[in-house]
Structure 1
Amino acid sequence: MAIDMNRTTIALPGQVSSEIWQKTQGSSAVMGLARRIALPGLGVTIPVITGDPEAAWVGETDKKPVKRGTLATKQMTPYTLAVIVPFSNQFRRDLPGLYDALVQRLPNALGKKFDQTVFGGVTAPGSNFDTLKGCTAQEIGTDAYKGLVAADADVAAHDGILSGWVLSPQGKAVLLNAVDGNKRPLFINSVAEGAVPMILGARASYSKGAYVADSTSAKKNVVGFGGDWTQAVYGTVEGVQITISDQATLEDGGTTINLFQQNMFAVRAEIEVGFRCDTTVFNKLTVTGT
């Protein structure tokens, strides 16, 4: 775990930095489902399986078949995702309170933005970062079950196996409202559970980043995603890097914060991260809004 700090101010314990990184991974639905690899600072070329070899039956003494799978390659490039959080100097006197605040605030900010980028809610940082913005859409607002089955079938048609769903809070509400002909909930066993742990045999995760509002006249708001997460990979260079300063001047929208003058300090957290996937084995779930 790399830690870059101004040692003249606050020494951040290694376990706190590690906890921030672990919670960043925990707050990101994408990081929880995709496979993680170590990412060199200059990037790496990763293989993408586009076709599997096929076995065949052979008779005794017959030649065994030679069948090659097909591969493509993609370049995964690390891009920097960062956030700066200012604190009053009172936190400096209460180190346990500061550490708790860091662990609570920083991971959510990093994890949410990473998910928003993967799901197409914000612009990708570069051409070597895949997003699911253009994947096949399935409407679940009118018939949730039909739309989910259609997503599962489309992933299968592209030689994938749907292994996980990511729902936004809005998508969760749609599924909680889905009922059968006798007005019984389709996706929960009881009101006490109040969750959708599994959908069509695949586990469901939740992320605010999975909601993408449609600004066009169609109003097809994206409320979730489903896909074959074995075909998705993310990589990080060094985990989370932390820098602490009490001398900087920050621009917060239209407000200027002079840390020294205002008896404050700021913590900058950043990760170098990349994401690649086969977008054909993912579907997005939409609901027509107003």
Structure 2
Amino acid sequence: MAETNRKAIALPAEVSAEILQKTQEQSAVMQLARQITLPGRGVVIPVITGDPKAKWVAETEKKPVSNPTVSKKEMQAYKLAVIETFSNEFQRDLKALYDALVARLPLALGKEFDATVFGATDVPGENFDTLKNCTAQEIGTDAYKGLVAADADIADHDGITNGIVLAPAGKAVLLSAVDGNKRPLFINSAAEGAIPMVLGVPTKQSKGAYVAGTPATVGFAGDWTQAMYGTVEGVKVAVTDQATVTAGSETINLWQQNMFAVRAEIEVGFRADLNVFNRLTKA
């Protein structure tokens, strides 16, 4: 419930739920990683770095004991927020407001979350993992060779590549990859133009997967069963027209300019076994 023009505007509970759902759809990381419910104070999670091994035994022989190698990491909730301003005309049609919220806010939240996980944006704290320093494989010169090298490195660290995330620049690299007869390697036809699978692995797209540098990172491959994110209580939404909002060097007086602002925030954390992920770079 929020005060706008001294009249109460109730944002339906399903709006927050839908914004969270849409945020998950906009975030490649949230689509691939496991989700857990995160207590506000954080939680210590086990990260399995070595699996137990079974052995054949003869009748009456002692059965082998083999425990997995487990390390522990603390997953902490950090707040990710965005404020969107609207003209008061939206108040005349609440459906238009809800539609705008569901369409615009998840894109901002999902993009920034991905950019932080992939290393384009600094992490909010020491208990938030980033993939920016993972082993790099160059795919700009020979895309197929680079992808196979990434798959092999992940396997060498006891992982299975089960998800690839491409930035738009990474998609362009794979679209231009051809065999000796100039036939595209990763798409069936130019009309499709999509890359749903690479080496039998599902592929997602995210603007956040591009990290500028020399070379630039244009994608990531990894074992996403070894990555998880947690949210405390979904997306919280608040509305006001009785505030002054600063956007860069511009100051907006909402009441004076017949506007109102919507604030969306989510408490979220991310942890992963960084050994089973590779960066895909373009020299």
Q: Give the TM-score of the pair, scaled to structure 2.
A: 0.97
Q: What SS does structure 2 have at the residue aligned with 1:114? A: helix
Partner Cα separation in structure 2 for residue 247 and residue 28 of structure 1: 32
Whether the aligned pair in 1 keeps the contact of 2:27 and 2:114 (CA below 8 Å) is yes
In the TM superposition, residue 5 of structure 1 has moved relative to its aligned partner by 4.3
- What is residue 183 of structure 2 aligned with on the other side? 184
Q: Distance in 2 between matches of 1:197 and 1:211?
A: 18
Matched, 1:287 2:282: yes
- CA deviations on 1:238-261 (whole Å, 9 max, x unpaired) are 000001011010110000000111
Q: 1:97: Cα distance to partner?
A: 1.0
Q: 1:98 maps to what in 2?
A: 97
Q: Deviations over 1:182-236 (max 9, x none)?
A: 000000011221111111111000000001111xxxx201100000000001000
Looking at structure 1, the residues matched to 267 and 218 of structure 2 have their Cα atoms a distance apart, in angstroms, of 27
Q: Indicate whether 1:122 and 2:121 are aligned.
A: yes
The one-letter amino acid paired with 2:237 is I
| Residue 274 (1) aligns with residue 269 (2) | yes
Calculate percent identity across the aligned residue pairs.
69
1:79 is aligned to: 78
Spell out, residue by residue over 1:153-210, the C-alpha distance to the aligned partner (whole angstroms, 9 max, x if none): 1101111000100001110011000000000000001122111111111100000000
What residue number does 2:221 align with?
226
Letter aligned with residue 87 of structure 1: F
- Which residue identity does 1:241 align to in structure 2? K
Give the CA deviation at 1:279: 0.6
Alpha-carbon distance in 2 for matches of 1:130, 1:12: 33
Aligned residues: 281
CA distance in 2, matches of 1:152, 1:146: 10
Within a 5 Å distance, the mapping from 1:235-254 to structure 2 comes to 235-254=230-249
2:154 and 2:160 in contact (8 A); partners too? yes
**1:112 maps onto 2:107 in alignment:** no
Moved over 3 A (4+): 4-9
CA distance in 2 between partners of 1:238 and 1:162 (Å): 31
C-alpha contact 1:130 1:277 (8 A) present in aligned 2: yes
Question: Which of 257, 261, 265 is 2:260 aligned to?
Answer: 265
Asked if the contact 1:9–1:244 (Cα under 8 Å) also holds between the matched residues in 2, the reply is: no
5+ residue gaps, structure 1: none
TM-score, structure 1 as length reference:
0.95
1:265 is aligned with what amino acid? F
Deviation (angstroms), 1:69? 1.1
Q: 1:200 to 1:127 in 2, by over 3 A?
A: same
Residue 6 and residue 237 in structure 1: after superposition, are their counterparts in 2 closer, same or farther (change >3 A)?
A: farther
SS at match of 2:9: coil
Partner of 1:43: 42
Partner of 2:193: 194
Q: Report the equivalent of 1:18.
A: 17
Instruction: Name the CA distance, whole Å, in 2 between partners of 1:172 and 1:162.
Output: 18
Cα displacement (A) at 1:62: 1.0
